[in-house]
Amino acid sequence: MKKFALPFLMLLSLLACKREDPVFSLTLSNANVKVSNLSQDYLVQVDNNAKTIYIEVDYLDKAELSALAVEIVGLPADAAANPAKSTFNYASGATQKVKITQGVTSAEYAISAAAAAPQPHFVSVKLNGVDVVDGSAKLKGSADLTTVSVEFVVSPANTIVKVGGEVIASATEEAPNAIDFSDKLNGVKFTLVCDDVTKEETIKVVTTGINKVNRLWGRYVKPVTDGADAWWSEVIPASDQSMRTMAMDDKYIYLAKTNKTLYAVSITDPTKTKAMDMGDYAAGGVFGSCALASMEDGNGGYVTLLSNMVNSTASEFVIWKWDSMDGKPTKVLSYHLPEAARIGDQMSVEGTWKDGKIWFHDFTSQQAAYVFTVSNGVINTTATKVSYDAKQGNWSAIYKYDDTQYIGGGPGAKSRLFTISGSTATTQLELPGAYFANPLHGIRFFTFNEQEYMSYVVLRNSYQDGQLRITELNGETLKASLETPGATWRFGLGDPVENDITAEKNGNGLGNSILRTIGGKIYISAYVPGAGLSVFTIE
């Protein structure tokens, strides 16, 4: 037995001296794998345990799989790859072997590559030329949402777009499409199909600006669709140019009958009217032709101002003020013209009774306005004469847009956009007759639902009818907006349905519209003597 002991110990010592083979310990990362000639981003996943490298190219680079150039980069100095770079056809699912050697150790990695599933999507979509952002496009409220033109670019390019099961092509000028987007709540569901992948995208329309203009009520002098309206004779005892002007505060519309009375009409209910207390006004004998306006009092209320008309330096020009519909008027201005002129046919106001201006266009020269400043309820008795560089008609008025830009409107001359600096008004633009028929009255500006508008009254049918118009202002400047005005809403004032009817001739070519925001809602009253009076609200 002992004789076996020595060989056994020798064998044991030999086994103890046997060295283990070195183990491959290099860890690859996706940074060690570079793929060239792809148009899109790609993904690499290295599994160092399984010794696999998976490359995923974008669907748009699917064709590159047949000759994909893969390079092993960034290895330590003592490591190398074989092949370090190779172009291989991975399209059929085949794998490429690459041997990584570090020192005396090595490992073989299997490289596979595939294309990601397509992700059909809109690269861009335009509705009526307006970009879709975050799934919705802002279209104007005046747009016809039942026929919206849809232009789109899709990716991948072979993506088919369907709406309601029907394939649609991107709109072009030659081949427009028309999709109904009138369901603003749910939008339109687009189905994008690429290979066997389907994706749905919903696009909605958000309207800006006015969606709807409601006529709250209308009183028509000689309507053609609904018979005569006795209101104009029984409640308001006139229907011609003797009721030449109109004002509105936040509760009442005021109509002034020359040489007689001021009437208040409820904005919400025209059956509620009242002949106002004229106090000493009529007795003063200066209530011939007149001008009328309501002005914010600076304390959340309004004052109503009524002037006479004077056309000589000898006559006293007077403004009377009512603090409320039930009160008596007080005389707040006595003024004598310094030269031959005529003021008091129309009055326009800006600012408040605490800090404002009252404008009277000069009927005689047609090229100037007398402007009275108001400070803390006191009218400065020295008027500033502002001269225009062009005539602006006789029964005209000046309407403020901003601190320097004003528009003149009235019969006898095209409306003009002026830049007013000091006592000089310089024409920026004569409003294009193609869009703005003469005369315009009651020009007001407002922004509703991110859209700017100009509302005004225009006389029609040889001054026998009138319209309220609300025009979108879309330009960078007011001048640009007026040169190419946007969509215009039109509402007849002489009849609830028909336009350009033959009512009573408005001899002076007058009219007015007033805009007030009452309880967060926009109200516009519009009046043309001989045609009618309406109140509109905006949605």
Partner 1 sequence: MKKWILAALLLLAAAASCQKLQFPVRSDDTSLIGLKCFVYYDPQNPSVRQELSLLMGTYNRERGLISYTFPADERFTPAALQRCRIEATIPPTSVLELTDAGGNPLGHGFEGFYDLRGNTLYFRITAADGTVKPYQLTCKSSR
CB of 31 to partner 1, least distance (A): 6
Give dist(CA 391, CA 368) in Å, integer.
8
Q: Which of residues 58 and 64 has its CB atom nearest to partner 1 in the complex?
A: 58
Q: Which of residues 30 and 324 has its CB atom nearest to partner 1 in the complex?
A: 30
CB of 50 to partner 1, least distance (A): 11
Q: 3-state SS of 375-428?
A: ECCEECCCCEEEEECCCCCCCCEEEECCCCEEEEECCCCCCEEEEEECCEEEEE
Q: Which of residues 27 and 186 has its CB atom nearest to partner 1 in the complex?
A: 27
Residue 156 near residue 199, CB atoms below 8 Å: no
| Closest-CA residue to 177 (of 187, 192, 162) | 162
Q: Which of residues 24 and 463 has its CB atom nearest to partner 1 in the complex?
A: 24
DSSP designation for 241 = T
CB of 101 to partner 1, least distance (A): 19
Provide DSSP, 278-291.
-TTTGGGT--SSEE
**Residue with token string 């000589």:** 312
CB of 86 to partner 1, least distance (A): 22
Give dist(CA 466, CA 15) in Å, integer.
116
Q: Which of residues 155 and 525 has its CB atom nearest to partner 1 in the complex?
A: 155
Q: Which of residues 52 and 367 has its CB atom nearest to partner 1 in the complex?
A: 52
Binding site for partner 1 (CB under 8 A): 27-31, 40-46, 48-49, 54, 56, 58, 116
Residue 7: enclosing H or E segment and its boundaries? helix 5-17
CB of 59 to partner 1, least distance (A): 11
CB of 70 to partner 1, least distance (A): 16
Q: Which of residues 41 and 403 has its CB atom nearest to partner 1 in the complex?
A: 41
Q: How many CB atoms lie within 10 A of CB 455?
A: 23
CB of 456 to partner 1, least distance (A): 46
Q: Starting from the edge strand earliest in sequence, which strands make up the sheet with 85-88, in order?
A: 33-36, 68-72, 85-88
CA dihedral 152, 157, 163, 166 (to 10 degrees): 130
Sign of CA dihedral 216, 472, 209, 205: positive
> What region, left, alpha or beta, does residue 24 occupy, with left being phi > 0 and alpha being psi -120 to 50 degrees?
beta
User: For 375-384, which contacts have Cβ atoms below 8 Å and span 24 or more sequence positions?
Assistant: 377/332, 377/353, 378/332, 379/319, 379/332, 379/333, 381/333, 381/334, 381/335, 383/335, 384/423
CB of 51 to partner 1, least distance (A): 12
CB of 30 to partner 1, least distance (A): 6
Q: Which of residues 100 and 535 has its CB atom nearest to partner 1 in the complex?
A: 100
SS3 33: strand
CB of 25 to partner 1, least distance (A): 10
Q: Which of residues 115 and 470 has its CB atom nearest to partner 1 in the complex?
A: 115
Q: Which of residues 34 and 391 has its CB atom nearest to partner 1 in the complex?
A: 34
